[in-house]
Structure 1
Amino acid sequence: MKLNCYKKAGWFTVILVIMSTGCTSPPPVVDHEDFYTLAHKTFSKGLQEISERYIQPIPVSDIAIEGLRGLESIDNRFKVEVTPSSITVKVSQKRHQTHPRPLNGNSNAWAKIMVAALQYSRSHSSAIGNASQEVVITAVLDGAVSLLDAFSRYSGAKQASENRQKRSGFGGIGVVLKPVDHGALVVTVLESTPAFLAGIKANDIITHIGDIPVKGWRNKGLVRAVHGEIGSYIKIKIRRKIVGMIDYSLKRERILFPTVNLIKENEALHVVISNFNNGTAQQIASKVTKALKWAKKPVAGMILDLRGNPGGVLNQAIKVADLFLVEGKILTTRGRHPSSQHEYLARENDILTGLPIIVLINGNSASASEIVAAALQDQKRAIIVGTPSFGKGSVQSVSRLPNDGELTLTWSHFVTPSGYVLHNLGVPPNICSISEHDNAESIVAEVLKNASDLSRLMAAWRKVSVDNKHARMTLKQNCPVNTKLRRIDILIAEKLISDTTLYSRILGISNSIASVQN
């Protein structure tokens, strides 16, 4: 309930800001006190989360001071001066405010200093005073996370809401709409959603939502109207060619956009994962199980296409790998916070029952996609084809803040089953598809011819120190990184799946996990 109250207060206080019409004097800012209460809670929570959860220890004082300096992005006259005993904020040589320096680890006390500085700056800087409350909070928290790595960030309330919908879904009916002359065209109906089950079809035109005509509406208005609380109802009118007008009353359900596409290519299932959201593993399990059940000819294997997949939800990567493993380690995570340290093990549920798997990766395969590729490769359950992956070997935790924004913080690193750290290294392909040869047969033959070289490369990859950046970069140069979707990758995969002897020979080249760890 408090969050809802703050959201209302935040909207109301934007209206109460009196905009200055002069150029020389600061604006007479009137901020509702609830804004500063919310700002204090947000800053205090943000400081605490960063100091406790970020993978490297950073003093609360450093985070807070850098956060205040973020206000310079709004007014470059704003300065923060720090001594061992005091904090001074300035908006000019004549205008300044000094505070006693709190204890380094006291998030609440530092948040009070930040709010006091924010109040002062909004009263004495026209640029900061005229900025919206969302803008000033964002400036402060952007400043705070500037001390962190490239994968840590702050997202404001609007962006955070969109992020949550991508990860966990939203209340809706399962249609993709496009504004047209007479209403909203149904472009796509997502499978197993309320719209799909009710019989709504692509090319239907929504003319009314409730009793309101939607002619002339833009995308944002359509999205706001169709989305709603899970379990609530929406009434729509649809015009369908030949049939005419149809009325629907639909109950909104949680909608997750599909991330999995499956097609049958010759003897193999070709499964493409675009990214990992909270429905990815279930989508794969459902699609693969149905494809195996209804295939007219026996399925010889699966091509798991992770090229260009930037990653997503960690537990979905674990679940996807677990779909194809009977036993063994999938992943270990290591971080500073006790809750960041985990070991994930497979269970006995290989839905392909041992059929060959080829995983396709490229330089844009990152994070969750690298977890899946590394686990299947290290457990000798799949052959990797393509080029080295991106090398984003870190886990980010997401913390919701009192202002409905969120902090995304790097809090642990991935360690593969064979013991190497993915960060700034990536997953090596068993077969590098960047070659002087232009056909699958020749590329595979070259790998077999130089099997000892591949074996040594894989062993070196798994043993290289995480601190030896030069050695890690040198290893990646053995197969030039590519970011394109190349047809040759699929041709190599089909070649291996069609020849089980060839598949077994390639799979046997790299060392076992036990030999690497010894």
Structure 2
Amino acid sequence: MLDRGTSNFSPVLQGINRLLLAMGLAIVIILLRLPLAHAQAEKLPNPVFAQVFQEIVTYHVNPPSAKQLFYYTVSLIQKQDPYIQTREQNNLVVYYNHKPVFAFRTTGDDDARGWGAIAQAFLEQIYPYSPALQRQTLEDQSQTIINTLVQVLDKYSHVTIYGPKSKAQNVADQNDDPKASIGVTIATDGRTATVKNIVPHSPAQLHLAVGDTIQSIDGKSIAGLKAAQIVSLFRGAPDSKVYVNFTHLGEARQAGIPRALLSQASFNSYVKNDVLYLQIQKFTQGTAQKIASVMHAQPHVTGIVLDLRGNRGGVLSEATAIADLFLATGNMISMRGRHPDSIASFNASTTTEKSDRPIVVLIDGQTASSSEVLAAALQDNHRAVVIGTRSYGKGMVQRATYIEGLGQLAITWAELYKPGNEASLDKIGVAPNICLAGNDLMPMPMQTTPEPGKFVMWFRRAPQVTWDSKTCPRLPRKDKSEDLVFAASLIATPDLYYKALNNKQI
């Protein structure tokens, strides 16, 4: 991962970079074929490396140079076959088993498309010589290399590699509308995927079991793929079949599993003791409008508990639209990156009908991304009391681009900043007003006059407060229902609620 202001490319690569700077390489791209180059090179149908390099250099929040991207690509190729070597002479000469096979004239440091074209030509030209590279098709090699390259940039940039479908179908598969799939949740170790959960009454329930390990999908190995990429392979047209090779209790099996449209609600709502509970699992298109309808149908509730525990995010505009239901004025979140188009500020509108009911927001260590935006917007505008543990801390935004011959490239291009103190959401996340971290910490019984010290932690949120990894740690609670009772009790005790809202010590 590339941290802000630093590079994660290897020290060897950085040494190469210094050497190249000293040599002052030319600004022309020409492939020089040497006499020993005898194998026939096939070509990739699309300039995928040039497009990927261009996207990274143009949009990433902290990009390496195009030259660094090239040499990291070379290192990934050499890692597969140590017989591939390079040497800097007047040109970049490439050897196989100590014999020169071809050479390149190189280009300027920041010529992203130039270095991308060289990277692709390098792979295409060396591929016929290398039995190690030929274990995959040329297209699969390019996808594997680019996928690894993108993952080095930061922990959120990624590639979703598509199968032989149309661009329109692939892009449709990425939206938040109901999809045809099989109904599993998986975790991956980089080699295989383990089934972690199965949706009740889904197609997967007839063929798979929790704990099964998946090796390939439709004949494609899942080694090296991220969980999101593996899940995308399950998706397709309703009633079509996906063929899964897996291991069940040590026995190798294959199953043809039909895909079906799975309806998953983005939130649940109910009213108890005049308090409206909104448990939002994820933000999908239309979530804000549905929540507005629920609130409109419950005009007489005394308060709202907004449960964002376990919510890993979703559509950012839906999160800000929900915040807008409660904020009369004020900034909700700011987004900033290197590219001018990545700079934006989301402010409360003056046209949306607003709710003035007291709000308590529940968060935990799995509250991430768009859900952190919602919690921070309400907290920093003194519109809600946030309780729970410190949130996950995913404050980076990805820019998604379709690349022909590869798939969807998601590049981290902006960082999210909270309103008020302008602190970044990334890594630190949202610190609750009232901390309820750990299994052994019981919330205080709510009283008009509480006993001193019963709150586990009370944050003043003053400028001098330093947020770090020790500030309300992400410790899980065994009985999560206690937090709901605590939230309702806080709403039922206005004196304590407004003290917490205004960051005053009890």
Q: TM-score scaled to structure 1, two decimals?
A: 0.68
Greater Cα shift, 51-60 or 134-143: 134-143
1:396 is paired with a residue whose SS is strand
Tell me, in whole angstroms, the C-alpha distance in 2 between the residues paired with 1:146 and 1:86.
Answer: 29
Indicate yes or no: 2:493 matched with 1:499.
Answer: yes
Of the three residues 167, 177, 193, the one matched with 1:169 is 177
Tell me, in whole angstroms, the C-alpha distance in 2 between the residues paired with 1:69 and 1:221.
Answer: 29
Tell me, in whole angstroms, the C-alpha distance in 2 between the residues paired with 1:170 and 1:117.
Answer: 42
Tell me, in whole angstroms, the C-alpha distance in 2 between the residues paired with 1:95 and 1:222.
Answer: 44
1:326 is paired with a residue whose SS is coil
The aligned counterpart of 1:365 is: 367
Equivalent residues of 1:267, 1:300 under 8 A apart: yes
Indicate yes or no: 2:279 matched with 1:272.
Answer: yes
Distance 1:116 1:221, change over 3 A: closer
**Which string of whole-angstrom CA distances, capped at 9 and with x for unpartnered residues, describes residues 197-224 of structure 1?**
xxxxxxxxxxxxxxxxxxxxxx999964
Equivalent residues of 2:78, 2:85 under 8 A apart: no
Tell me, in whole angstroms, the C-alpha distance in 2 between the residues paired with 1:223 and 1:56.
Answer: 33
Equivalent residues of 2:390, 2:431 under 8 A apart: yes
Distance 1:270 1:86, change over 3 A: farther
The aligned counterpart of 1:51 is: 57
The aligned counterpart of 2:458 is: 454
| Offset, 1:115 | 2.2
Give the letter for the 1:355 counterpart: R
Tell me, in whole angstroms, the C-alpha distance in 1 between the residues paired with 2:160 and 2:448.
Answer: 46
Give the letter for the 2:161 counterpart: G
The aligned counterpart of 1:251 is: none
Equivalent residues of 1:431, 1:444 under 8 A apart: no
Equivalent residues of 2:393, 2:427 under 8 A apart: yes
Tell me, in whole angstroms, the C-alpha distance in 2 between the residues paired with 1:49 and 1:450.
Answer: 52
Tell me, in whole angstroms, the C-alpha distance in 2 between the residues paired with 1:163 and 1:392.
Answer: 24
| Offset, 1:46 | 0.7
Distance 1:141 1:276, change over 3 A: same
| Offset, 1:299 | 1.3
- Structure 2's unaligned 5+ residue stretches are 1-37, 185-198, 203-230, 241-260
The residue correspondences of 1:357-436 to structure 2 (distance < 5 A) are: 357-418=359-420, 419-434=422-437
Distance 1:56 1:319, change over 3 A: same
Give the letter for the 1:487 counterpart: S
Distance 1:356 1:89, change over 3 A: farther
Indicate yes or no: 2:146 matched with 1:141.
Answer: yes
1:112 is paired with a residue whose SS is helix
Indicate yes or no: 2:442 matched with 1:438.
Answer: yes
| Offset, 1:355 | 0.5
| Offset, 1:86 | 3.4
| Offset, 1:37 | 3.3
Equivalent residues of 1:440, 1:495 under 8 A apart: no
| Offset, 1:49 | 0.5
Indicate yes or no: 2:40 matched with 1:37.
Answer: no
1:226 is paired with a residue whose SS is coil
The residue correspondences of 1:146-295 to structure 2 (distance < 5 A) are: 146-158=151-163, 165-169=173-177, 187=201, 224-226=236-238, 257-290=264-297, 292=298
| Offset, 1:123 | 0.4
Equivalent residues of 1:262, 1:272 under 8 A apart: yes
Give the letter for the 2:490 counterpart: L
**Which string of whole-angstrom CA distances, capped at 9 and with x for unpartnered residues, describes residues 165-197 of structure 1?**
35343677x9989xxxxxxx9948xxxxxxxxx
Equivalent residues of 2:399, 2:410 under 8 A apart: yes
Of the three residues 328, 342, 345, the one matched with 1:326 is 328
Of the three residues 480, 485, 503, the one matched with 1:509 is 503
Distance 1:84 1:57, change over 3 A: farther
Tell me, in whole angstroms, the C-alpha distance in 1 between the residues paired with 2:362 and 2:325.
Answer: 17
Equivalent residues of 1:71, 1:78 under 8 A apart: no
Of the three residues 474, 484, 488, the one matched with 1:481 is 474
Distance 1:47 1:256, change over 3 A: farther
Tell me, in whole angstroms, the C-alpha distance in 1 between the residues paired with 2:277 and 2:495.
Answer: 21
Give the letter for the 1:441 counterpart: P
The aligned counterpart of 2:215 is: none
Q: How many residues align?
A: 401
2:498 is paired with a residue whose SS is helix
Of the three residues 58, 81, 86, the one matched with 2:91 is 86
Give the letter for the 1:283 counterpart: K
Identity over the aligned pairs, expressed in percent?
A: 27
| Offset, 1:347 | 1.0
| Offset, 1:342 | 0.8
**Which string of whole-angstrom CA distances, capped at 9 and with x for unpartnered residues, describes residues 427-459 of structure 1?**
1111111376524426997797599x8354x11
| Offset, 1:90 | 4.1
Equivalent residues of 1:78, 1:89 under 8 A apart: no
Tell me, in whole angstroms, the C-alpha distance in 2 between the residues paired with 1:317 and 1:62.
Answer: 37
Tell me, in whole angstroms, the C-alpha distance in 1 between the residues paired with 2:274 and 2:304.
Answer: 9
Tell me, in whole angstroms, the C-alpha distance in 2 between the residues paired with 1:375 and 1:82.
Answer: 54
The aligned counterpart of 1:314 is: 316
Q: Tell me how large the CA RMSD over aligned residues is.
A: 3.9
Tell me, in whole angstroms, the C-alpha distance in 1 between the residues paired with 2:384 and 2:333.
Answer: 16
Of the three residues 109, 112, 130, the one matched with 1:104 is 109
Tell me, in whole angstroms, the C-alpha distance in 2 between the residues paired with 1:360 and 1:76.
Answer: 51
Distance 1:119 1:133, change over 3 A: closer
Distance 1:82 1:486, change over 3 A: farther
**Which string of whole-angstrom CA distances, capped at 9 and with x for unpartnered residues, describes residues 447-481 of structure 1?**
97599x8354x114xx66xxxxxx542xx424232
Distance 1:120 1:145, change over 3 A: same
The aligned counterpart of 1:116 is: 121
2:126 is paired with a residue whose SS is helix
Give the letter for the 1:498 counterpart: A
1:397 is paired with a residue whose SS is strand
Tell me, in whole angstroms, the C-alpha distance in 2 between the residues paired with 1:115 and 1:124.
Answer: 15
| Offset, 1:28 | 7.9
Which structure features the higher share of helix residues? 1
Give the letter for the 1:321 counterpart: A
**Which string of whole-angstrom CA distances, capped at 9 and with x for unpartnered residues, describes residues 210-263 of structure 1?**
xxxxxxxxx9999644279xxxxxxxxxxxxxxxxxxxxxxxxx9985311212
Give the letter for the 2:486 counterpart: I
Tell me, in whole angstroms, the C-alpha distance in 2 between the residues paired with 1:169 and 1:312.
Answer: 12
Q: TM-score scaled to structure 2, two decimals?
A: 0.69
1:97 is paired with a residue whose SS is strand
Give the letter for the 2:497 counterpart: Y
The aligned counterpart of 2:301 is: 299
